[in-house]
Chains A and B, each alone.
Chain A
């Protein structure tokens, strides 16, 4: 709590450092989903370009199966979240809504913990809605992995040790 107090005293707004609610986190997830969708479309376009270059005569647009789309989407989401949570602590959706994913000690997550949380989010996205009834606005993933999503409008994360 002392670190939290210290952090709160440095923040511009009084609510910064508090755990974020379901609305902001849901909007952030939607924004991240759009980002993943854009990535998937880009991959599909690249795949199409490669196919056109390799088979220009018999070229047809690729039509991947839903399984492939979901698998690829899940994999992209996993990588996307792992990389951003372990580096800046925030994905693009978190950046947009002013959120940051940190450990219980308010430090940046280790990449392994970020990977676990990302995998959990991909496999069980509905765990987010536990934040509605949780007194501390914590999702299932937060409870199991002892992470916290806080309001943080600062451009960069507070320097410090990574939370294992």
Chain B
């Protein structure tokens, strides 16, 4: 069944010449061989079917079955010899018949071969229509014939035998070379109703255990690392995530004060803040400002008191202001 191993035997066959005596002999040879082959095949199938269908057969019956095969082979050998003799005789008859059909010394119009050629040309003209009719008939007959053939043949055994003789690897490789697998898969996927198929598959699978197996076999860190290397995660988060909402939600769920007191060295932070601030200068400035305001108040009150005393003295001494 290997396609590459089958030799092209067409060149070995003789080219038929219409109307030649050799052609008729060759046709007879081939027909006889075909008939004999068909008969032998049918006989072989019948014998094997009878032998295999016997229930609880014993070694003795097997022995008898082998004897039957030998008998069948003997009969077939005799038949083959008889057929060869018959064909040879038929060849002589055909040659004689060719002389009879195309006798010498007889006018062309009266020779029987001319009649045969006429019949041959008519057949060629009508052959197409005849083939169509035969095809139609075959269409009708083929199913029934197929069923009959299936009944006669042990299909399983035939398939097993065929598979044993076929180099499946080579066949698959050759088929894959010839096929456009991508196109085929694309069309198949397009024509399939994937959703129910997937649902059916998923219903039959324990996804949890499958995922556990996958996780156990996969280096998740490496896979995640490779995926993250190919993704600008920051840009993705900034684009897709509502950050204010996320942050607000997180803050709502957290006691930030407790977290800070628990996780942050507040004293250290306070020391750093104090170091960063000129606290003495700040205190000095604020207290200096307060002291300055107090001193300004004292000074202004002193000035007012001076003026009040001066006015009083001026009145007592009856002194006018311009005299000062």
Contact = CB atoms under 8 A, between A and B. Distances in A.
B partners with A:
yes
B312 to A, nearest CB: 9
Interface residues of B, number: 15
Given A96-B295, A97-B298, A153-B299, A133 B306 contact: no
Chain A interface size band reads: 10 to 19
A36 interface: no
B324 A24 contact: no
A27 B303 CA distance: 11
Interface in A114-133: 132-133
A95 to B, nearest CB: 9
Contact of B324 (A23, A98, A135, A151): A135
Contacts of A27: 298, 302
B302 A137 contact: no
A7 interface: no
B323 interface: yes
A136 to B, nearest CB: 7
B319 A135 contact: yes
Interface stretch (A14-22, A48-56, A61-69): A14-22
B307 interface: yes
A135 B310 CA distance: 9
Given A97-B298, A137-B310, A24 B303 contact: yes
A133 B315 CA distance: 11
A27 B309 CA distance: 14
Interface string A21-57: 1111001000000000000000000000000000000
A137 B305 CA distance: 13
Nearest to B323: A135
Interface in B225-259: none
B317 interface: yes
B45 interface: no
B313 interface: yes
Contacts of B310: 21, 137
A46 B310 CA distance: 44
Nearest to B316: A133
B291 to A, nearest CB: 10
A23 B324 CA distance: 17
A22 B306 CA distance: 6
Interface in B71-90: none
B307 A21 contact: yes
Given A96-B295, A135-B323, A136-B324, A23 B313 contact: no
A133 B312 CA distance: 10
Contacts of A151: 299, 303
B319 A23 contact: no
A24 B313 contact: no
Interface in B265-317: 295, 298-299, 302-303, 305-307, 309-310, 313, 317
A96 B303 contact: no
Contacts of B306: 20-24, 137
Contact of A21 (B295, B298, B309, B319): B309
A2 to B, nearest CB: 20
Contacts of A23: 302, 305-306, 309
A20 B307 CA distance: 9
Contacts of A24: 299, 302-303, 305-306
B299 to A, nearest CB: 4
Nearest to A15: B303
Nearest to A21: B306
Contacts of B309: 21-23, 132
Contacts of A20: 306
Given A97-B299, A151-B299, A153-B299, 4 more contacts: A21-B303, A21-B309, A98-B302, A133-B313
Interface of A: 15, 20-24, 27, 96-98, 132-133, 135-137, 151, 153
- Smallest CB-CB A-B distances: 3 pairs: A21-B306, A24-B302, A23-B305
19 contacts: A21-B305, A21-B307, A21-B310, A22-B306, A22-B309, A23-B302, A23-B306, A24-B302, A24-B303, A27-B298, A96-B295, A97-B302, A98-B299, A132-B313, A133-B313, A135-B323, A135-B324, A151-B299, A151-B303
